[in-house]
């Protein structure tokens, strides 16, 4: 999350790239390391969320605020329907009501004051000012993995004004420590698929050399190579991103967005290649009709624009206080519909091609079966 109240632009690149980078901000809410500052008249503020393991979850924090603003609290909600959903979805609840759902026996309130031993607070002087500096931690144990939501409060006060730094971890393994439990396995999966796609790309290069020597290096095969190459680059950047994240828990927005862009481009090229092959391009005919070209252009443009809108929609409308993923939005549903339309188009194209060229069944039947599953 790294400063929900204070985050601003991170560079002045081209407008589109800025928008896409801002779309990745949502992902920082599951970051292991978060820091920032808050200055608001609100008496209750949501900070971040994290899915802790049942036995190994740990929160370490450092909060600092002026002594005259005492006393502020860290509130720890979990995902039971009587807790976070009850508080966050009912905006009419005041600060006291939001605090009342917490269970005292679970130590879900950490008072940031010297009177509360577990907060680790002490008074420090900086020039003519006195601050409360609170350095402490909290372990999380439950019967299952749980989402925990961290908020701040100062009910009945003049608002919140503080600096914060938090580390949220799961165990001590390189593969789990920095990750929220819902992110387990992402790095290992990306590494595995990177190796697979590197092998696929190298094999495709070998066959491209053979095809070129026979003057059979067609456009659709070049599209396949371009798609595979972009997927390799995408997975390389994803592995770089998650590898760095596993080391220090810090989100690198630019690397992640670049990886997602390359993955989207790879997918779009591959989808276009499948429709073209379904229509028989480079298999039964050397060109697509004018009307077919127009339809493909309109469809791919629409699909690309929807992808871009989805990035922006995540940044502007996805609520970091809720567990939401890419396709849980109207734009995500639109993308699913477009993909279903592409599949229907693919089926119709293969059917029409086989109707006119039944001798191509040995190619099209396995081709259709494989990419129907895909």
Q: How many CB atoms lie within 10 A of CB 177?
A: 18
pLDDT of residue 271: 92
Sheet bearing 72-78, strands edge to edge: 44-52, 146-153, 72-78, 109-112
- Our CA angle for 222, 227, 229, nearest 5°, is 90
76 & 199 share domain: no
Query: Is residue 201 domain-shared with residue 160, that is, in the same domain?
Result: no
**Does 7 have pLDDT greater than 50?**
no
What pLDDT shows up at residue 250? 83
- The pLDDT value recorded for residue 32 is 72
- Region 48-53: mean pLDDT is 89
Helix (H, G, I), strand (E, B) or coil at 88: helix
pTM: 0.78
Q: Is 73 helix (H, G, I), strand (E, B) or coil?
A: strand
Q: Which of 135, 170, 205 is the C-terminal boundary of a domain?
A: 170
Give the residue with greater pLDDT, 124 vs 33.
124
Higher pLDDT, 329 or 296: 296
Q: Are 148 and 77 in contact (CB under 8 A)?
A: yes
Q: Of 143, 170, 197, which marks where a domain is finished?
A: 170
List the alpha helices (DSSP H) in the chain: 15-23, 84-88, 95-100, 186-213, 219-248, 253-278, 290-317, 330-356, 361-373
Structure tokens at 111: 């008072």
Quick check: is 9 in a domain? no
Q: Does one domain contain both 202 and 346?
A: yes
Q: Are residues 142 and 96 in the same domain?
A: yes
Minimum mean pLDDT range among 98-112, 134-148, 310-324, 349-363:
310-324
Average pLDDT, the chain: 85
Residues 226 and 365 in one domain: yes
- Please check whether residue 14 lies inside any domain of the structure: no
Q: How far is CA 158 from the centre of its chain?
A: 35
Confidence of residue 28 (pLDDT cuts 50, 70, 90): very low
Confirm whether 177 is domain-assigned: no
Range of the domain at 125: 33-170
Q: Does a structural domain hold residue 5?
A: no
Q: Which two tokens stand for residue 18?
A: 């800025």
pLDDT interval class at 14 (50, 70, 90) = very low
Report, in angstroms and rounded to the nearest whole number, the Rg of the chain calculated over CA atoms: 26
Round to whole Å and give the CA distance between 262 and 343. 22
**For residues 343-372, average pLDDT:** 93
User: Distance (Å, rounded) from C-alpha 92 to C-alpha 108?
Assistant: 22
CB 133 within 8 A of CB 121: yes
205 and 81 fall within a common domain: no
Pair 149, 191 in one domain: no
Evaluate if residue 31 carries a pLDDT over 50. no
Tell me the pLDDT tens digit for each residue of 234-246: 999 999 999 999 9
Last residue of a domain, which of 170, 193, 222? 170
Kindly report the CATH number assigned to the domain that includes residue 46. 2.60.120
Q: How confident is the model at residue 29 (pLDDT cuts 50, 70, 90)?
A: very low
Most confident range (mean pLDDT) of 81-95, 286-300, 304-318 is 286-300
If asked whether residues 132 and 203 sit together in one domain, one would say no
Whether 83 maps to a domain, the answer reads yes
Q: How confident is the model at residue 205 (pLDDT cuts 50, 70, 90)?
A: very high
**pLDDT higher than threshold 80 for residue 13:** no
Q: Specify the residue for token string 């003519």.
A: 128
Residue 62 has a pLDDT of: 94
Q: How far apart are CA 90 and CA 229, in angstroms?
A: 48
Mean pLDDT of 245-257: 86
Same domain, 335 and 246: yes
Helix ranges, 4-94 (H)? 15-23, 84-88
Phi then psi dihedrals of residue 239, to 5 deg: -65, -40
Q: What does the pLDDT look like over 268-277, one tens digit per residue?
A: 999 999 999 9
- Domain presence at residue 4: no
Would 239 be classed as within a structural domain?
yes
Which of residues 307 and 350 earns the better pLDDT score? Answer: 350
Q: In terms of domains, do 227 and 305 share one?
A: yes
**Confidence band (pLDDT; 50, 70, 90) for 91?**
low
What's the number of domains the chain is made of?
Answer: 2
CA angle 292–350–368, rounded 5-degree value: 135
Residue 285 lies in a domain: yes
Comparing 46-60, 74-88, 209-223, 320-334, the range with the smallest average pLDDT is: 320-334
Residues 122 and 57 in one domain: yes
**DSSP code at position 106:** G
DSSP code for 26: G
Among the residue ranges 298-302, 309-313, 342-346, the one predicted with the least confidence is: 309-313
Pair (289, 208) in one structural domain: yes
**CB-based contact 232:194 (threshold 8 Å):** yes
């Amino acid at each position: 999350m790294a400063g929900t109240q204070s985050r601003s632009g991170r560079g002045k690149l081209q407008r589109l790239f800025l928008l896409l980078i801002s779309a990745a901000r949502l992902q920082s809410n599951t970051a292991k390391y978060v820091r920032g500052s808050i200055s608001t008249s609100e008496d209750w503020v949501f900070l971040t969320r994290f899915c802790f393991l049942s036995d190994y979850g740990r929160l370490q924090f450092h909060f600092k605020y002026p002594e005259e603003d005492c006393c502020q609290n860290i509130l720890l909600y979990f995902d039971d329907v009587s807790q976070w959903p009850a508080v966050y979805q009912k905006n009419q609840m005041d600060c006291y009501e939001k605090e009342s759902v917490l269970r005292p026996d679970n130590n879900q309130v950490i008072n940031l004051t010297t009177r509360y031993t577990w907060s680790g607070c002490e008074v420090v002087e900086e020039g003519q000012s006195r601050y409360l500096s609170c350095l402490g931690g909290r372990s999380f144990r439950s019967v299952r993995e749980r989402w925990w939501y961290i908020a701040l409060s100062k009910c009945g006060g003049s608002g919140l004004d503080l600096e914060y730094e938090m580390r949220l971890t799961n165990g001590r393994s390189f593969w789990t420590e920095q990750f929220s439990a819902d992110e387990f396995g992402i790095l290992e999966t990306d590494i595995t698929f990177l190796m697979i796609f590197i092998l696929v790309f190298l094999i495709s290069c070998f066959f491209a050399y053979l095809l070129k020597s026979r003057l059979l290096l067609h456009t659709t095969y070049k599209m396949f190579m371009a798609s595979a190459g972009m997927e390799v680059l995408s997975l390389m950047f994803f592995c770089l991103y998650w590898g760095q994240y596993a080391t220090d828990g810090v989100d690198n927005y630019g690397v992640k967005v670049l990886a997602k862009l390359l993955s989207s481009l790879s997918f779009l090229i591959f989808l276009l290649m499948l429709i073209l092959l379904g229509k028989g391009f480079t298999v039964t005919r050397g060109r697509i009709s004018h009307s077919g070209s127009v339809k493909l252009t309109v469809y791919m443009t629409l699909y690309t624009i929807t992808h871009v809108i989805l990035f922006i929609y995540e940044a502007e409308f996805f609520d970091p206080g809720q567990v939401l993923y890419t396709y849980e939005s109207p734009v995500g549903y639109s993308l699913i519909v477009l993909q279903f339309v592409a599949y229907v188009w693919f089926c119709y194209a293969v059917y029409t091609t086989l109707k006119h060229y039944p001798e191509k069944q040995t190619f099209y039947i396995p081709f259709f079966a494989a990419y129907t599953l895909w």
